[in-house]
Structure 1
């Protein structure tokens, strides 16, 4: 799993740089909304490619099918559970003075429209790419080794660790923020195990992100 994670991060970084360099040559600033969204999309597409390649290489089955009514109910319940968990943990981190500074928040302070762009990317690219890599590939592979419970927790921790880069500030709040994301990742992992359909955590993940991003935009 460590090798897969490293490969995914490296390929994602290379893809992001490959997008940014031509943009800089054309005179666009690295901190402009279009460049930031484009590099994010490039990095997430790299996650998608690595996740797909790994499932084929390791023969990890990733069930994808049209969601049934039961699947949609699970997805909706998962969104509610993820949001409730995130709010509860955020309140706890606030009480413990462990709220990290957000990179996304810093960018959005300059251009709130960045949040709407991320919301669109979440539906089109981010949720499908991250769920294929973390739930489909990593959780699927861990399930073969340690069973479903260990796979859900293990994949969620890897999912959270990747999001360490989302935060700035002191070490403890950054780790706390990543653990919050890992906890939400457990919700997506449970959805995947119960429904055996990757579309369900993708839908829940996308909706969860959209709710948070649009709410942040309206607040901004």
Structure 2
């Protein structure tokens, strides 16, 4: 059924994929908390001590939802696709990589009374950032962006449409944060992540390697939340999101300008080269194969 929906109604499939992703995380985490409560304080204690531990469980359900969608539609190969390779893929994504490095240099500075968290909590923080990235890249690039590119085709216009629409869905997926953060901050986050999602899709299409995006996304989230991950008594994720203000939307240009550069006309053939599954069917009687 999912294969047929994906082929016949790709936009509906992509929107329902986001809904399923969010619903599985919400329901799975709620059930998990219920089980923890029934097991008693001794089992629940680590989760009460470290918010990122419960967030990791939440993201794990998201990973499972994404893997389910890829598996049911025969797209698990996106995890194995090498594209131009990991290191060359990082060169394609050099702009966000440099931005992450700059953010690290700023956010790693502790406050005057900063106290490091215990080692296990710091380890949980890094695990959580990885799972967030794996879950979101599986869904928004592996499932959604690839579906849209297959629908529109690897022409320059098709690639742009797939990037913009997948970015829009990536941004709108963060509306779920309205449940825990200030509305203005969430809307700013949605705008920023929509622009970032457009850039990530461009990097994915140009490089053909999902793990490059998982790495960049992980590093970007670590850089943004490193204070909360390393030090005691710092802002939670919801508090960080609530602090966003509309002036930050100007930063969306930082993501959109390199997107235009990556998708310039003379580089478009690289997209088709890394996505041979998107080529139109060959005429009957033509027995040549793609090398």
Asked if Structure 1 and Structure 2 have the same fold, meaning a TM-score greater than 0.5 normalized by the shorter chain, the answer is yes
Per the TM alignment, residue 192 of structure 1 is displaced from its structure 2 partner at its CA by 0.5
Per the TM alignment, residue 187 of structure 1 is displaced from its structure 2 partner at its CA by 2.1
1:55 aligns with one of 46, 65, 70? 70
Per the TM alignment, residue 70 of structure 1 is displaced from its structure 2 partner at its CA by 1.2
Separation in structure 2 between the aligned mates of residue 62 and residue 202 of structure 1, nearest angstrom: 12
**1:1-220 equivalences in 2 (<5 Å):** 1-25=14-38, 26-27=40-41, 28=44, 32-34=48-50, 36-60=51-75, 62=78, 64-65=80-81, 67-81=85-99, 117-123=124-130, 125-146=131-152, 147-166=158-177, 168-169=181-182, 171-215=183-227, 220=234
Separation in structure 1 between the aligned mates of residue 211 and residue 86 of structure 2, nearest angstrom: 10
Cα distance change of structure 1 residues 117 and 166 upon mapping to structure 2, 3 Å threshold: farther
Separation in structure 1 between the aligned mates of residue 95 and residue 72 of structure 2, nearest angstrom: 33
Separation in structure 1 between the aligned mates of residue 122 and residue 184 of structure 2, nearest angstrom: 26
Q: Which has the higher contact order (CA 8 A, sep 6+)?
A: 1
Report the number of matched residues: 192
Cα distance change of structure 1 residues 148 and 56 upon mapping to structure 2, 3 Å threshold: farther
Gaps of 5+ in 2: 1-13, 104-115, 153-157, 235-291
Assess if the C-alpha contact under 8 Å between 2:53 and 2:125 holds in 1.
no
CA RMSD, 1 decimal: 3.0
Which residue matches 1:104?
none
Cα distance change of structure 1 residues 117 and 182 upon mapping to structure 2, 3 Å threshold: farther
Separation in structure 1 between the aligned mates of residue 161 and residue 125 of structure 2, nearest angstrom: 31
**Residues 17-37 of structure 1 deviation map (CA, whole Å, 9 limit, x = unaligned):** 122112223134798244x33
TM-score (norm 2): 0.56
Separation in structure 1 between the aligned mates of residue 162 and residue 143 of structure 2, nearest angstrom: 11
Separation in structure 1 between the aligned mates of residue 15 and residue 93 of structure 2, nearest angstrom: 29
Greater gyration radius: 2
Cα distance change of structure 1 residues 68 and 120 upon mapping to structure 2, 3 Å threshold: closer
Separation in structure 2 between the aligned mates of residue 187 and residue 18 of structure 1, nearest angstrom: 35
Cα distance change of structure 1 residues 173 and 209 upon mapping to structure 2, 3 Å threshold: closer
Per the TM alignment, residue 43 of structure 1 is displaced from its structure 2 partner at its CA by 2.2
TM-score (norm 1): 0.72
Per the TM alignment, residue 79 of structure 1 is displaced from its structure 2 partner at its CA by 2.4
Cα distance change of structure 1 residues 150 and 118 upon mapping to structure 2, 3 Å threshold: farther
Per the TM alignment, residue 65 of structure 1 is displaced from its structure 2 partner at its CA by 4.8
